[in-house]
């Protein structure tokens, strides 16, 4: 028991702790705010095909929602790749109305839309069916075409593709994707340097408060977390939407890095300085339309 007591005393006096995984910015938790979508599940993507973990911490007021169910905020959701085209509600009802009117005419003895009389009744019936069918097909193609189109794919330099060009009347451009990738790298660098001023310029005050709390916790234990050699692998758009004068974009990003925590003397107490970690997270960015840059407003862990 004496050696164990000495070991515990040593840990307490040197500020060391048991290994802590996921020490990077955000600490491996889902934190931040996504406007009215904060408590709604981001749509799946090819980079993050499974669910995203709900928010562990957020300053956004909680509203009733069905997290993880299909499209709780239908206006901002994007259909998963390869899903069936959505039916247009107006056209579905219109076609059903025409068909119902014709069947009612037949059952009431007046023919399909009143055209089943005399020797030519069968011929007239077929002509009416063909005309109405053609109209329905044209209208479905005309009004339902937008729902059946999938997201486009834009290749990026260095073989790191970002997929999706936007949704809900929000277009995400190649420059926006470059900004997202740059913020991923710059935030990791500022985090490792414990540069709160730089972090304040790249994230919302809420996210900065979480970063400051996390770094302060390390400082209280005479420890420091360093992420280095961050390499972006791929990413794609989950959803993009507007709220007032703010534009939000949630993107799934996969990247690898060296994530290590050291003590005050530089000794590794968690992580590895040689083995890389591969991480998939959903980062949400926000900016004021027409002015300002994208800043980080939330990090969510992929399931």
The b-or-e profile of 27-49 (16+ CB within 10 A means b, else e) is bbbbbbbbbbbbbbbbbbbbbbe
Q: In this structure, what token pair is assigned to residue 255?
A: 């990247």
Question: In the chain, how many domains are there?
Answer: 2
Mean pLDDT across the chain: 74
The residues with which 263 forms a beta bridge, in sequence order, are 223
Residue 49 vs residue 12, higher pLDDT: 49
Residue 209 has pLDDT above 80, yes or no: yes
| All residues at 6 or more sequence positions from 32 whose CB lies less than 8 Å from its CB, including other chains | 55, 57, 58, 204, 206, 207, 210, 284, 296, 297, 298, 299, 300
Classify the C-alpha dihedral 227-272-57-255 as positive or negative: positive
User: What angle is formed at CA 84 by the lines to CA 78 and CA 90, rounded to 5 degrees?
Assistant: 80
pLDDT tens readout for residues 36-85: 999 999 999 999 999 899 999 999 998 654 554 433 333 333 333 233 33
Residue 267 vs residue 148, higher pLDDT: 267
148, 172, 198 — which closes off a domain? 148
Residue 63 vs residue 157, higher pLDDT: 63
Rg (Cα) of the chain, in Å, rounded? 28
pTM of the model: 0.63
Tell me which of 89-93, 115-119, 276-280 is least confident: 89-93
Same domain, 95 and 238: no
pLDDT tens readout for residues 161-179: 455 556 667 999 999 999 9
Q: In this structure, what token pair is assigned to residue 203?
A: 């994230």
Please report, rounded to a whole number, the percentage of residues in the chain having pLDDT higher than 70.
58
Same domain, 271 and 174: yes
128, 148, 168 — which closes off a domain? 148
Q: In this structure, what token pair is assigned to residue 143?
A: 């009004």
Where in the sequence is the domain holding 143, given as residue range(s)? 89-148
Tell me which of 148-162, 228-242, 253-267 is least confident: 148-162
Of the candidates 183, 196, 209, 215, the residue with the CA atom closest to the CA atom of residue 287: 183
Same domain, 202 and 297: yes
36: CATH: 3.10.450.240
CA–chain centroid gap for 12, Å, is 41
User: What angle is formed at CA 47 by the lines to CA 42 and CA 51, rounded to 5 degrees?
Assistant: 40
């Amino acid at each position: 028991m004496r050696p164990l007591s000495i070991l515990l005393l040593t840990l307490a006096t040197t500020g060391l702790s048991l290994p802590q995984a996921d020490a990077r910015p955000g600490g491996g938790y889902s934190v931040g705010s996504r406007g009215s979508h904060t408590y709604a599940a981001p749509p799946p993507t090819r980079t993050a095909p499974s669910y995203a973990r709900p928010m562990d911490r957020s300053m956004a007021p909680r509203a009733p929602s069905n997290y993880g169910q299909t499209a709780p905020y239908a206006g901002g959701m994007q259909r998963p790749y390869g899903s069936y085209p959505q039916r247009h509600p107006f056209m579905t009802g219109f076609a059903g109305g025409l068909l119902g009117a014709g069947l009612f005419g037949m059952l009431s003895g007046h023919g399909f839309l009143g055209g089943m009389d005399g020797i030519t009744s069968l011929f007239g019936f077929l002509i009416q069916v063909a005309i109405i069918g053609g109209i329905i097909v044209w209208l479905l193609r005309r009004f339902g075409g937008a729902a059946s189109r999938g997201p486009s794919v834009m290749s990026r330099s260095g073989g790191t593709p970002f997929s999706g060009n936007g949704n809900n009347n929000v277009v995400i451009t190649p420059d926006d994707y470059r900004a997202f990738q740059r913020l991923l790298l710059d935030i990791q660098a500022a985090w490792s340097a414990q540069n709160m001023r730089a972090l304040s310029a790249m994230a919302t005050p809420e996210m900065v408060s979480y970063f400051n709390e996390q770094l302060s916790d390390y400082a209280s234990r005479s420890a420091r977390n360093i992420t280095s050699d961050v390499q972006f692998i791929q990413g794609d758009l989950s959803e993009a939407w507007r709220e007032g004068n703010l534009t939000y974009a949630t993107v799934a990003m996969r990247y690898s890095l060296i994530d290590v925590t050291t003590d005050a003397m530089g000794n590794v107490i968690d992580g590895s300085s040689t083995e890389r970690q591969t991480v998939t997270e959903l980062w949400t960015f926000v900016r004021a339309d027409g002015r300002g840059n994208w800043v980080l407003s939330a990090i969510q862990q992929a399931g």
